[in-house]
Structure 1
Amino acid sequence: MSNSILHKASSRFYADHGWLKSAQTFSFHGNYDPERLQFGALRVLNDDTVNGGKGFGRHPHDNMEIISIPLEGVLEHQDSMGNTAVISPGEIQAMSAGTGIYHTEYNKDEDQPVTFLQIWLYPDALNVEPRYDQLDYSKGDRQNKLLQILSPHRDDEGVWINQKAWFHMGDLESGFGIDYRLKNEANGVYVFVISGEVIVNTQPLDTRDGYGVWDVPLVAIKAVTDASVLVMEVPMKW
């Protein structure tokens, strides 16, 4: 028997710091609910908008897999491993914080905001050597398909991280349906609707809604309108 959990966009936590507006699916910093701590290994799903020229100053992380996916605007990254990079829509960035890193994230554009998803996963091994990865998937075929953008394997499609997780992005036309078959049936799938309306199994979802399902071999996704979705398969136990 399958299990599921629904997180409507309106039920997310919100933080407004002036330069930063953050919608948080799970408990984060000062926003806490013991019923909204994580979905399996998925610990953070923040939908952040940063004003032009603003950003997060130098700060530390350790023992966390950190993924950034810009949706609008341009994000600049610098870290203590010596990486300096700019990521734009159609790109994904992953960091294995491992034994510890410092990094900064800034809106590269002085005039326009940047909106990006910041996602944290618990790793499957602690105190690994920190690592950075970045991929341009913009030319990949995700029209009425689910394009893999993250995996646990160095030689697989997408960036790779220290967790047995797979991320896929899809742009679906109204009326189109597609099934996602789990790589590991012990995992769960969390579908986040970037835009549009979809039905996941029998659950209607709107823009920025999230829906987690586990104890299933596959998840059926049907677009009600033109829609973009992020599909995250993650371990429920690790």
Structure 2
Amino acid sequence: MQTLLHTAASRGHANHGWLNSYHTFSFAGYQNPQRMHFGVLRVLNDDTVAAGMGFGAHPHDNMEIISIPLAGTLEHKDNAGNHGIIRSGDVQVMSAGTGIAHSEKNHSQSEEVKFLQIWLFPNKRGVQPRYDQQSFEPAGRRNQFQQVLSPSPGDAGVWIHQDAWFHLADFDAGFATDYQVKRPGNGVYVFVLEGGVTVAGQPLHRRDGFGLWETESFSVQADSAARLLLIEVPMNLP
């Protein structure tokens, strides 16, 4: 088993007033040659956007983009005619493919929105752009891994053009389990949203990230009440 630890304090940080953003991997003004990607996971941004503010229309292509709200409401619009509002418990995906322009803004005029924006390199270039979002019941991740994203339209969760699986989990203090890697050769990036856990013997705290690969499974134990996001991805770039 190979592992990689990214503590919360080691992330890049940019505060633009209306946007407070922490970057696990190199992004915009934060450039670190040692933090370019984890397999096909290219961007993991932890964003807080002030009330009524947001990102104006901007283009993307050949990237799988996933947004996961943690608090508040996020509004999406794109030039393909898609329009959606997502909140905690929802997951949104956008396959940029041949090219799409979208805007994201805080839907609320009084409360900030907190969300994760995640980019994955696709396994197919030049696909037709697409958009989707789904809601997931909190009970489905209580002391278990709730699958919220997969490579297949027929599987649980939203789907993308990549052999990747995302799981959310809410663990009670003391709960312990194992994660089984879905696809041989994939790695898993564990991102601690809240609380403290020990993963494969490594203690982790709020907003720490921990990558594991060259393994078929690993242990997870909640040291306190904890919320996790597990991002399983191919380790080789397409």
TM above 0.5, yes or no, is yes
Q: State the distance in 2 between where 1:102 and 1:219 align.
A: 39
- Asked whether the equivalents of residues 65 and 123 of structure 1 are also in contact (C-alpha less than 8 Å), the reply is yes
Q: Does 1:56 align with 2:55?
A: yes
- TM-aligned CA deviation for residue 139 of structure 1: 5.0
Match of 2:167 in 1: 168
Aligned ranges for residues 27-106 of structure 1 at < 5 Å?
27-106=26-105
- What is the match of residue 111 of structure 1? 110
Query: 1:10-67 CA deviation, whole Å, 9 max, x = no partner?
Result: 0000001110000000000111011000000000000000000000000000000000
Gaps of 5+ in 1: none
The alignment partner of 1:141 has SS state of helix
* Native 8 Å contact 1:90 1:137 kept in 2: yes
* Cα offsets for 1:201-230 (capped at 9, x unmatched): 110000000000000001211000000000
Q: Tell me what 1:180 maps to.
A: 179
Write the distance in 2 (CA, Å) between the matches of 1:185 and 1:233.
Answer: 11
The separation in 2 between residues aligned to 1:178 and 1:103, in whole angstroms, is 39
Deviation at 1:199, TM superposition (A): 0.3
Q: 1:24 to 1:150 in 2, by over 3 A?
A: same
Name the CA distance, whole Å, in 2 between partners of 1:17 and 1:201: 37
Counterpart amino acid of 1:103?
H
The Cα of 1:140 is off from its aligned counterpart by 5.1
Identity %, equivalent residues: 54
In 2, distance between residues paired with 1:120 and 1:193? Answer: 18
The letter for the 1-side match of 2:82 is: N
Q: Which residue of 2 aligns with 1:147?
A: 146
Native 8 Å contact 1:140 1:147 kept in 2: no
Distance 2:3 2:62 in 1: 28
Q: How many residues align?
A: 237
Partner of 1:10 in structure 2? 9
Alignment correspondent of 1:213: 212
* Aligned partner letter, 2:131: Y
Name the counterpart of 2:125.
126
Q: Which secondary structure does the structure 1 equivalent of 2:140 belong to?
A: coil
Q: Please tell me the residue identity of whatever aligns with 1:234.
A: V
Moved over 4 A (4+): none
Q: Cα distance, 1:184 vs. partner?
A: 1.3
Deviations 1:102-127 (Å, cap 9, x if unpaired)?
00000001111000000000000111
TM-score (norm 1): 0.98
The residue type equivalent to 1:211 in the other structure is F
Unaligned runs of 5+ in 2: none
The TM-score with structure 2 as length reference comes to 0.98
* Conserved? CA contact 1:45–1:120, under 8 Å: yes
- How far off its partner does 1:185 sit? 2.3
